[in-house]
Amino acid sequence: MSVRHHVSDELLLAYAAGSLEEGWRLAVATHLALCPESRSRLALIENAAGQLFEDIVVEQPMTTSFDQLRQRLEGHRTPESGAVRHPTGRRAGGVPMLPEPLRSYVGGDVETLKWKALGRGAFHILIKTGDATTTARLLRIPAGRPVPEHGHGGRELTVVLAGSYHDGDRLFARGDLEEADASIEHQPVATPLEDCICLAVTDAPLKFKSWLVRLVQPVLGI
Amino acid sequence: MNETASELSKDEARILLERVGRDRDMDAFEVLFRHYGPRVKAYMARLERDGSVAEELMQEAMLAVWNKAHQFDPKRGNVSTWIFTIARNLRVDAYRKMRRPDFDPDDPGFVPDAAEPADAALAHAQEAERLRAALAKLPSEQLELLRLSFFDDCSHSSIADRLRLPLGTVKSRIRLAFARLRAVLEDDR
């Protein structure tokens, strides 16, 4: 079964430009690993970048001569190590549920995970990234149950890894990416046959640093 | 005073890069350096006013081109795209200091493409030509948006601020631009 819900052009463009923050990038890269069609759209965008790069305006000449570069090359002479990363937690002969780069981020495939209860039968695992602006987590939603409230005010990207869920009349299954923002009221519900496991990345919850703001926060109700 | 860097056709660039990868051909590498070095430096300089830092990053990128030339696969894209992605990754690593999560085609969890037709490389070269023509026909405001996105490390909301446009307009122009490029490529198929 192929992926039905694809990443948007805006997100792919930011991915291709290298301007996407780590948390969002993790979600987009995980979707791309599972979706050849989105990768071919990425290829078009990167080829457009390559063409514009060919025509980029050159204002300053290079100061490096070829002989200087050549000397650096010879001093360098580190042959490509050809080092192949060995993905961890790979099921013998099987296809891991968590593709790279996600598997390395959580430290193994699905059977090695230590889930934490979220209540109402749901579980989650926070994923450590270097990106303070987003929160990334794996969610496990019991078959037939709704996704618990996980409070996000801004954008949310969800990539389905196992099982499926309905959001309104749309069905999301393995590899699908759902992009939601604060303006969208949504209440995803896992389909009845199987628990649904997904990667969810959201804007980090707002934290008010100042003690004064913290003091008045309950009063203002923000 | 825009210095016009040397001209190189897509085929010439591909043949040169393949010679670097296969034969470690220093003369071929020199031609690529003279053509792409100034472009890589210009790309680095879009974020870095200090010319010597841009120059250093350019050298790093060209060393990576030499070291990775054997990995270049003409079925996946052309030389300018390949060198752009190398320069981009170096720039992200230099400025963002973050892990750069990416999919890995060698991972057993990766869902591969449907088998490529035997003439994929040829089809690809023709597609690159059509893409070039289609880009030349895009409205200038869409092209400017793409350049700002690719080269200036601007988020779409900062582009919106810079051009004094609503964010929704920026997003819809991006969608329009790629819809147009895709339509041109599909029409000719």
How confident is the model at residue A151, as a pLDDT? 52
pLDDT lower than 50: segments of chain A: 80-84, 86-87, 89-91, 207-210, 213, 217, 220-222
Distance (Å, rounded) from C-alpha A30 to C-alpha A102? 6
Tell me the average pLDDT across B125-137.
87
- Which of B30, B99, B176 has the highest number of chain A CBs within 10 A, making it the mutation to test binding with A? B99
Tell me the average pLDDT across B45-62.
91
Q: Alpha helices of A95-184 — where are they, by DSSP H?
A: 102-106
Q: Smallest CA–CA separation between B188 and chain A, in Å? A: 15
How confident is the model at residue B47, as a pLDDT? 87
Q: Which residues of A touch B42 (CB under 8 A)?
A: 56-60
User: Which chain A residue has the Cα nearest residue B110?
Assistant: A33
Higher-pLDDT residue of A222, B150: B150
Q: What are the structural domains, with CATH classification, of chain B?
A: 10-99 (1.10.1740.10), 118-187 (1.10.10.10)
Tell me the average pLDDT across B140-146.
92
User: Which chain A residue has the Cα nearest residue B28?
Assistant: A66
- Which of A3, A12, A13 has the highest number of chain B CBs within 10 A, making it the mutation to test binding with B? A13
Q: Which helix (H) or strand (E) holds A138?
A: strand A134-141
Distance (Å, rounded) from C-alpha B38 to C-alpha B45? 10
Q: Which residues of A touch B130 (CB under 8 A)?
A: none
Q: Which residues of B touch A101 (CB under 8 A)?
A: 101-104
Higher-pLDDT residue of A15, B186: A15
Q: How confident is the model at residue B117 (pLDDT cuts 50, 70, 90)?
A: low
Q: Smallest CA–CA separation between A44 and chain B, in Å? A: 8
Angle between helices B79-96 and B51-68 (to 10 degrees): 130
- Out of B33, B39, B70, closest to residue A58 by CB: B39
How confident is the model at residue A204, as a pLDDT? 75
Q: How far is CA A183 from the centre of its chain?
A: 21
Q: Which residues of B touch A21 (CB under 8 A)?
A: 98
Inter-chain residue contact A44 with B182, CB threshold 8 Å: yes
Inter-chain residue contact A66 with B34, CB threshold 8 Å: yes
How confident is the model at residue B50, as a pLDDT? 82
- Out of B3, B147, B150, closest to residue A58 by CB: B3
Q: Which residues of A touch B81 (CB under 8 A)?
A: 46-47, 49-51, 53
How confident is the model at residue A60, as a pLDDT? 85
Q: Is the pLDDT of residue B140 over 60?
A: yes
Identity of residue B68: K
Inter-chain residue contact A90 with B83, CB threshold 8 Å: no
- pLDDT > 90 in chain B, percent: 64
C-alpha pair distances (Å), B89 with each of A51, A81, A114, A116, B38:
17, 19, 33, 35, 17
C-alpha pair distances (Å), B118 with each of B74, B85, B122, B124:
13, 25, 9, 11
How confident is the model at residue A152, as a pLDDT? 56
How confident is the model at residue B122, as a pLDDT? 72
- Which of B70, B93, B102, B116 has the highest number of chain A CBs within 10 A, making it the mutation to test binding with A? B102
- Out of B5, B85, B103, closest to residue A33 by CB: B103
Inter-chain residue contact A95 with B108, CB threshold 8 Å: yes
Secondary structure in 3-state letters for B146-163: HHHHHHCCCCHHHHHHHH
Tell me the average pLDDT across B96-106.
91
Query: Which one of B99-113, B120-134, B153-167 scores highest in mean pLDDT?
Result: B99-113
Q: Is the pLDDT of residue B2 over 50?
A: no
DSSP 8-state symbol, A64: -
Task: Please give the mean pLDDT across all residues of chain B.
Answer: 89
Q: Is the pLDDT of residue B73 over 60?
A: yes
Whole-model pTM? 0.88
- If we measure between CA atoms, which residue out of A11, A17, A7, A27 comes closest to residue A135? A27
Q: Is the pLDDT of residue B149 over 90?
A: yes
State the ipTM, two decimals: 0.92
Q: Smallest CA–CA separation between B133 and chain A, in Å? A: 10
Q: Smallest CA–CA separation between B17 and chain A, in Å? A: 15
Torsion of CA A104, A105, A111, A113, to 10 degrees: 150
How confident is the model at residue A222, as a pLDDT? 43
